Amino acid sequence: MTEMQGGKAKIVTAAMLVIGNEILSGRTRDANMHFLAGKLTEAGIRLMEARVVPDVEDTIVAAVNELRGRYDYVFTSGGIGPTHDDITADCIARAFGVGIDVQPEARRRLEAHYEPGMLNAARLRMARIPDTATLIDNPVSAAPGFRIGNVLVMAGVPMIFQAMVASVLPTLTGGDRLLSRTVICQVPEGAVAEPLGALQKEYPDVEMGSYPAFRGGKASTSIVLRSTDRQRLDAAAGRMHEIFRQLGGEPVENEIV
């Protein structure tokens, strides 16, 4: 975990690794990153990076090792099914330098899920778990995900992914929640850029992002301010209101608490 502001703010970080050629080819649209980001934010964990990689062993291993060394948690999605191209479990085992085999408890769960005689060799692949890993429950289709170190390995199917996230979130340690306020005004982004830059220097502990748009046929700018400190956030948002008014606009606000 990362400590900021003299130990006042505890920041916990995460990355997501989306695995699968079908994502990169455009055949499948990833829905898991948006879901995960929202749930992690609620838990006080910041999703700092997301990558999409193909079903290539060396690429997956390198990405896992880089991300797990950089962030508190790494979530993967995809590649733990029954087919030959589902290689995520093997890649995770290689990344951690451990063996992999059918895990008795994972096998028991699959045996309980399938009708007698239906647990064939392909489906049994889903019970192959790296040594030392612990299972992540899958109440949808029984085949478990797993956690090893700070890496949490989950299915790519959105319904299953969401169920797995629900099962692991209570076990994770979050940091201080990042609060957010959004100030919107029909002022062009170019007009607000300079005073916004000055405001950011005045409040270096408040993240500020500028997002231009057109509303009602007129140029508009949304300023998103985020901080773990409610007082500093409110003060910066108040100054943003003042800036917009000085530029001739009438700001409105959306708040996410």
Domain CATH for 30: 3.40.980.10
Residue range(s) defining the domain that contains residue 130 = 2-171
What's the pLDDT score for residue 87?
96
Identify any residues that bridge with 212 across adjacent strands, giving them in sequence order.
Answer: 221
> Which tokens sit at 26?
């455009």
> Which tokens sit at 52?
């999409």
Assign 4 a pLDDT band (cuts: 50, 70, 90).
Answer: very low
- Residue of 134, 160, 147 lying closest to 64 (CA atoms): 147
Residue 193 φ/ψ region, left for φ over 0, alpha for ψ in the -120 to 50 degree band, beta for the rest: alpha
Q: Decide: 175 and 1 in contact? Cβ < 8 Å.
A: yes
Same domain membership, residue 65 and residue 123: yes
Same domain membership, residue 214 and residue 89: no
Domain end call among 171, 203, 226? 171
Domain end call among 171, 203, 224? 171
Same domain membership, residue 19 and residue 119: yes
CA of residue 53 relative to chain centroid, distance: 15
**What is the distance between the alpha carbons of residues 74 and 65, in angstroms, rounded to a whole number?**
10
Same domain membership, residue 183 and residue 77: no
What's the pLDDT score for residue 208?
96
Q: What is the mean pLDDT of residues 88-112?
A: 97
Residue 191 has pLDDT above 50, yes or no: yes
* More confidently predicted of 253 and 98: 98
Q: What is the mean pLDDT of residues 142-161?
A: 97
Q: What is the pLDDT of residues 5-16, one digit of tens each?
A: 445 678 899 999
Element (H, E) at 102: strand 100-102
Assign 256 a pLDDT band (cuts: 50, 70, 90).
Answer: very low
What's the pLDDT score for residue 217?
85
- CATH number at 199 reads 3.30.70.600
Same domain membership, residue 122 and residue 57: yes
Q: What beta strand segments (E) does 20-81 contain?
A: 45-53, 73-77
Contacts of 253 (CB under 8 A, 6+ apart): 181, 182, 183, 184, 237, 241
Both ends of the chain: CA-CA distance in Å? 23
**What is the distance between the alpha carbons of residues 2 and 169, in angstroms, rounded to a whole number?**
19
Residue 96, helix vs strand vs coil: helix
Same domain membership, residue 213 and residue 165: no
Q: Please give the mean pLDDT across all residues of the chain.
A: 93
Same domain membership, residue 240 and residue 167: no
Same domain membership, residue 127 and residue 104: yes
- DSSP character at residue 257: -
Same domain membership, residue 87 and residue 50: yes
Domain end call among 125, 151, 171? 171
Residue 251 has pLDDT above 60, yes or no: yes
Q: What is the mean pLDDT of residues 157-173?
A: 95
Same domain membership, residue 35 and residue 153: yes
Q: What is the number of structural domains in the chain?
A: 2
Same domain membership, residue 155 and residue 188: no
What's the pLDDT score for residue 5?
43
**What is the distance between the alpha carbons of residues 67 and 138, in angstroms, rounded to a whole number?**
24
What's the pLDDT score for residue 8?
61
Same domain membership, residue 123 and residue 155: yes
Phi, psi of 5 (to 5 degrees): 55, 55
